[in-house]
Structure 1
Amino acid sequence: MKVLVTGAAGFIGAHCVLRLIRDGHDVLGLDNFNGYYDPQLKHDRVRWVSHEAGDFPLVTTDLADAPAIEALFARERPQVVVHLAAQAGVRYSLENPRAYLDSNLEGFLNILESCRRHPVEHLIYASSSSVYGANQHTPYSVQDGVNHPLSLYAATKKANELMAHSYSHLFGIACTGLRFFTVYGPWGRPDMSPIQFARAISEGLPLKLFNYGRHQRDFTYIDDIVESIARLIDRAPHANGAWDRDRPDPASSMAPWRLFNIGGQHPVELKTYLALLEKHLGQKAVVELLPLQPGDVLNTCAEASDLARATGFQPRIELDEGLGRFIAWFREYYPTAYRPRAARG
């Protein structure tokens, strides 16, 4: 099928483009190459995908540019949209909240409007485990309420789910929302802990471990994320005929709309995660223990049985194996950062 992937130069987006090309889909990418982090990494991801699977068309434009998005849909007529572009980062939303309104709300509205005006068979979009917010009941289930977000980023992702539902109900757009849990792996974002921690350990710099390293995360390797997306491409949701207005299922609807968790289902305490990084790097960390940061949730753990029932797949790559793959990439991509301390002049 013809698939539009937004955020195609991003971490998840680049891996997704590579997988979909290898699966034989006709892939069109979109990215704005913004400066949230060094755009060079984004360009390098695109070169990596082109080297592995051949060149692919990539449009540079901003999601908030409604006429440009409309023109792209009118010209290209994608059958499926995998919408991964967004302003990411919990803590950055405390500093620059308007970036989240422009990208995550206005930009998503432009995608929905274009899917309405130029009908698609399936819209898959990225949500986040952050939507569970103050919910302390784990594992997090798509049946749980998500009405208490702890950051603006999380609130925009919850808003995306609601916006998608309204368009699905009003205009019959088949929409699938994916709540990703702490995605990591090669080509990851430099603002995320794997690269931040690996660079700090390699360079002997103090590493900040918030909540004194006691909170847990359900780490999900990037290959498990893209495998899930690839299996959902041709599984557009249908209206749930058994949906009960008196006892509504939060993960489905009388509209063609679904939600899934995608998570490793094995939460790990950050101290354990750090110890694995130290093992693969062969160096000890210099740790600075600090209190919990504003906007952070204490623990995350995905309940992903709905995904397994729908696709026959659930994430399976263990953290030790995934971090080993990540560190192998890190050593190659950041060779200066990885020079052992004893070798430095």
Structure 2
Amino acid sequence: MKQKVILITGAAGFIGSNLAKNILQKDSEVQVIGVDNLNDYYDVSLKEYRLKELENWDNFSFHKGNIADRSFLEQIFQKWEPEIVVNLAAQAGVRYSITNPDAYIESNILGFYNILECCRHSYDDGKPGVKHLVYASSSSIYGLNKEVPYRTEDKTDKPVSLYAATKKSNELLAHAYSKLYGIPCTGLRFFTVYGPCGRPDMAYFGFTNKMVKGEKIQLFNYGDMYRDFTYIDDIVKGVSAVMEKAPDANEDGVRVKVYNIGNHQPVSLKFFVETLENCLRKAGVIDSEAEKEFLPMQPGDVYQTYADVSELEKDFGFKPDTPLEVGLTAFAEWYAGYYRRK
């Protein structure tokens, strides 16, 4: 990626900020352009904290704006002419999509369409154009699939949430634009990402906030759920590897590829909470066991997620492997330090 211009949307987000930092630390010749609308879906101060960590690099430029705003996005593409685009901007959250569907249509459908259109027109007037579009999909698109581990070649036509449906639409749109306009596109199905300075709407962060306040935590499906928790550093390594190699044309002549990025070791919600409590106690965040409330399955949830990462390993020689206790220890220590300063 030497001397390339890389556009990262969702740059103030959990994955986007960590990816930008990783690229900047490794290569001073790359220009990283960050875009984010800094919405208030969760605590904006966390997003500002992440951006502050990127300010020290001269080859990082941040622009506040919404990818659903075509004119804003066109100005970014025209000014910077990115060669690699990593679209991580999206309205996240399964349960939030039930009560706030408009946000998902705006960001995940219209916003992604705008990204594709800008990539398409980056070739106008003989310009080099975007050499690779990498975009965030989600493990949620596997929906009602019963067979595990989830393989990228499995059918994904039974989503159980609007969020999942929008992510599936991203994969379909990317395929169509790659076929029509030759844009090389790679989709990444992330599996339950966690780590320091993560998203407060994720279970591990929400559990921690409640434990600190002495409130009971809610375990859905009575704690009988399994998730393929994937540490943020593994996600960043996977994204970075994929960015450097645009897909070759498949048997249909289309340059598209989709990968799972997951820890390929699902753990029960019960075990996860026990490990989290132990890590928080060691970090001095809590000093007693949390009170737990066991509830039925919530709309939009799935029983288990489990990633088959054989394609990722075959093509890039990499698979996530950070043990849960290592990742949660890092989160607990960050949480203790961050909230102690506030």
**TM-score normalised per structure 1:** 0.92
Structure 1 position 55, deviation (Å): 7.0
Alpha-carbon distance between aligned partners in 2 of 1:219 and 1:10, rounded to the nearest angstrom: 18
Match of 1:335 in 2: 340
Provide, for residues 137-188 of structure 1, a one-character-per-residue CA deviation record: whole Å limited to 9, x for no partner.
1100001000000000000000000000000000000000000000000110
Provide, for residues 306-340 of structure 1, a one-character-per-residue CA deviation record: whole Å limited to 9, x for no partner.
00111111101011110001111011112389xxx
Is the counterpart of residue 6 in structure 1 residue 16 in structure 2?
no
> Which of 105, 108, 113 is the matching residue for 1:104?
108
**Mapped contact 1:202–1:281 kept (Cα < 8 A):** no
What does 1:248-327 align with in structure 2 at a 5 Å threshold? 254-282=253-281, 283-327=288-332
Is the counterpart of residue 75 in structure 1 residue 85 in structure 2?
no
Match of 1:15 in 2: 18
Structure 1 position 39, deviation (Å): 1.2
Change (3 A) 1:336 1:78: closer
Provide, for residues 217-276 of structure 1, a one-character-per-residue CA deviation record: whole Å limited to 9, x for no partner.
000000000001111112000112xx3xxxxxxxxx530000000000000000000000
> Which residue identity lines up with residue 180 of structure 2 in the other structure?
L
Change (3 A) 1:54 1:291: farther
Match of 1:151 in 2: 161
Is the counterpart of residue 62 in structure 1 residue 70 in structure 2?
no
List structure 1 segments (4+ residues) > 3 angstroms apart after TM superposition: none
**Mapped contact 2:6–2:85 kept (Cα < 8 A):** yes
Alpha-carbon distance between aligned partners in 2 of 1:336 and 1:295, rounded to the nearest angstrom: 36
> Which of 29, 42, 46 is the matching residue for 1:41?
46
**TM-score normalised per structure 2:** 0.93
Match of 2:152 in 1: 142
**Gaps in structure 2 of 5+ consecutive residues:** 123-128, 282-287
Change (3 A) 1:336 1:195: farther
Give percent identity, aligned residues only: 48
**Mapped contact 1:264–1:315 kept (Cα < 8 A):** yes
Structure 1 position 26, deviation (Å): 1.5
Structure 1 position 54, deviation (Å): 5.8
**Mapped contact 1:7–1:31 kept (Cα < 8 A):** yes
Q: Secondary structure at the match of 1:138?
A: coil
Alpha-carbon distance between aligned partners in 1 of 2:103 and 2:121, rounded to the nearest angstrom: 26
**Mapped contact 2:32–2:59 kept (Cα < 8 A):** no
Alpha-carbon distance between aligned partners in 2 of 1:234 and 1:324, rounded to the nearest angstrom: 31
**Mapped contact 1:210–1:292 kept (Cα < 8 A):** yes
Is the counterpart of residue 232 in structure 1 residue 242 in structure 2?
yes
Alpha-carbon distance between aligned partners in 1 of 2:339 and 2:99, rounded to the nearest angstrom: 28
> Which residue identity lines up with residue 315 of structure 1 in the other structure?
P
**Mapped contact 2:31–2:59 kept (Cα < 8 A):** no
> Which residue identity lines up with residue 317 of structure 1 in the other structure?
T
Q: Secondary structure at the match of 1:57?
A: strand
Is the counterpart of residue 89 in structure 1 residue 93 in structure 2?
yes
Q: Secondary structure at the match of 1:278?
A: helix
**Gaps in structure 1 of 5+ consecutive residues:** 244-252, 338-345
